[in-house]
């Protein structure tokens, strides 16, 4: 108690610094570079990771600085994982779906088509064994994965023409990548890879017929309601788009325990804050988009059915040809089935009732 009493209070000056437990005083100053996957213009997802970095600094009183760089400043956005893996940077902001081509099993980290919703994804990650599996998978790429955000369910994108049935998708050139592109290809869509900045002119000129990006708030920035008429929902291929901070494995191991904890805690804080930020901004943005002429549509039933079937076919194909994918798929499917059985009982039931009442009130 005497020692504690001595350390408490307004002790200051070199003497106190030396007498104090030297844990912090001896802790090294660490400066890391983190490369982003999403552009600075997206104050939502880029901004969230920026906030995470600031928090890490505050938690360590500036001794552990993680500096975020926009895509292209160090490496292009889609090379974040490689840059972390080979040690070009210590950390990267990643969306694991981007690496589906490199390692299909990583897609479970980002949230799968017709899969767990954001809350269920958190349950799987933090208490259902998901994070451990994801970490084992990323370890093969020399990375440590730390969930650091979620986008919520995204929109289905912008279409020049109305989609009345699956037949209308035949030959449709759509800007969409990864798993969603593969599933839509089974429905006749011709997926196109186009950088965000090139979407507007491509739609304007009719080089493409449709494009998906994120959700109302981010989409609004691209101005797509000026060059297309129909705004479709939902982005079934991204019902729970989780963002991940990747850290180079060696860099992570070299970190003092308190800095590791600071990184992880700040990342989990962003898991809820990034989603909350999107949820607060999307409703208002959607109103503005509709006010500006965007016509809101839901994919017709037969498109949803075909998409659901195509998704399950694809998942089964990958589970059979890729052992890692198969291992994930088994764990994830069991967890999802349990989740959905429970979700129907209380949360979704109450949501459905309340949303229905509020819609009636409006109407």
Which 116-155 positions form the footprint of a second copy (CB under 8 A)?
A: 117-120, 122-128, 152-155
**Least distance in angstroms from the C-beta of 30 to a second copy:** 7
Query: Which residue, 81 or 144, is less far from a second copy as judged by CB?
Result: 144
* DSSP-assigned letters across all residues of 259-311: HHHHHHHHHHHHHHHHHHHHHHHHHHHHHHHHHTTPEEEEPPHHHHHHHHHHH
Q: In this chain, which of 167, 195, 272, 323 binds a second copy, going by CB under 8 A?
A: 272
- Cβ atoms of 120 and 240 within 8 Å: the answer is yes
- Give the interface segment with a second copy, choosing from 59-67, 134-142, 169-177, 185-193 (CB under 8 A): 59-67
Query: Which residue, 190 or 290, is less far from a second copy as judged by CB?
Result: 290
Query: Which 15-34 positions form the footprint of a second copy (CB under 8 A)?
Result: 16-18, 20-31
Nearest to 298 by CA among 227, 231, 362, 203: 231
Q: Who's near 227: CB < 8 A, 6+ residues apart?
A: 158, 160, 200, 203, 204
Query: Which 169-208 positions form the footprint of a second copy (CB under 8 A)?
Result: none
Query: Which residue, 322 or 331, is less far from a second copy as judged by CB?
Result: 331
336 lies in the binding site for a second copy (CB under 8 A) = yes
2 lies in the binding site for a second copy (CB under 8 A) = no
342 lies in the binding site for a second copy (CB under 8 A) = yes
Tokens 């408490």 sit on residue: 8
Site map (CB under 8 A) of a second copy, residues 219-238, x = contact: --------------xxxx--
**Least distance in angstroms from the C-beta of 184 to a second copy:** 16
Q: In this chain, which of 73, 313, 317, 338 binds a second copy, going by CB under 8 A?
A: 338
Q: To the nearest 10°, the Cα dihedral for 124, 128, 131, 134?
A: -90
Nearest-5° Cα angle at 65, 61 to 69: 145
291 lies in the binding site for a second copy (CB under 8 A) = no
> Distance from first CA to last CA of the chain, Å, rounded?
67
């Amino acid at each position: 108690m005497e020692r504690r009493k001595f350390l408490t209070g307004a002790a200051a000056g070199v003497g106190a610094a030396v007498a104090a437990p030297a844990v912090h005083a001896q802790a090294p100053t660490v400066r890391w570079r983190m490369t982003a996957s999403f552009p600075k213009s997206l104050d939502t997802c880029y901004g969230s990771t920026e906030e995470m970095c600031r928090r890490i600094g505050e938690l360590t009183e500036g001794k552990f600085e993680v500096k975020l760089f926009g895509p292209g400043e160090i490496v292009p956005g889609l090379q974040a994982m490689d840059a972390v893996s080979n040690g070009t940077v210590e950390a990267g902001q990643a969306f694991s779906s981007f690496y589906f081509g490199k390692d299909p099993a990583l897609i479970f980290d980002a949230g799968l088509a017709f899969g767990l919703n954001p809350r269920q994804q958190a349950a799987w990650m933090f208490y259902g064994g998901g994070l451990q599996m994801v970490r084992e998978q990323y370890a093969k790429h020399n990375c440590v994965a730390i969930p650091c955000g979620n986008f919520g369910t995204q929109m289905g994108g912008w279409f020049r023409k109305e989609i009345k049935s699956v037949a209308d998708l035949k030959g449709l050139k759509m800007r969409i990548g990864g798993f969603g592109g593969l599933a839509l290809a089974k429905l006749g869509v011709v997926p196109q890879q186009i950088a965000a900045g090139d979407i507007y002119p491509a739609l304007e000129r009719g080089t493409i017929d449709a494009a998906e990006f994120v959700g109302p708030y981010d989409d609004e920035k691209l101005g797509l309601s000026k060059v297309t008429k129909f705004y479709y929902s939902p982005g079934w291929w991204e019902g729970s788009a989780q963002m991940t901070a990747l850290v180079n494995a060696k860099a992570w191991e070299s970190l003092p325990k308190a800095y590791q904890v600071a990184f992880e805690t700040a990342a989990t804080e962003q898991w809820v804050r990034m989603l909350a930020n999107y949820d607060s901004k999307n409703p208002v943005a959607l109103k503005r988009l509709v006010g500006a002429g965007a016509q809101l549509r839901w994919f017709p039933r037969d498109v949803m059915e075909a998409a659901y079937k195509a998704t399950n076919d694809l998942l089964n194909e990958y589970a059979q040809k890729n052992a890692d994918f198969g291992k994930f798929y088994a764990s994830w499917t069991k967890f999802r089935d349990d989740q959905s059985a429970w979700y129907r009982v209380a949360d979704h039931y109450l949501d459905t009732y309340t949303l229905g009442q509020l819609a009636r009130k409006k109407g």
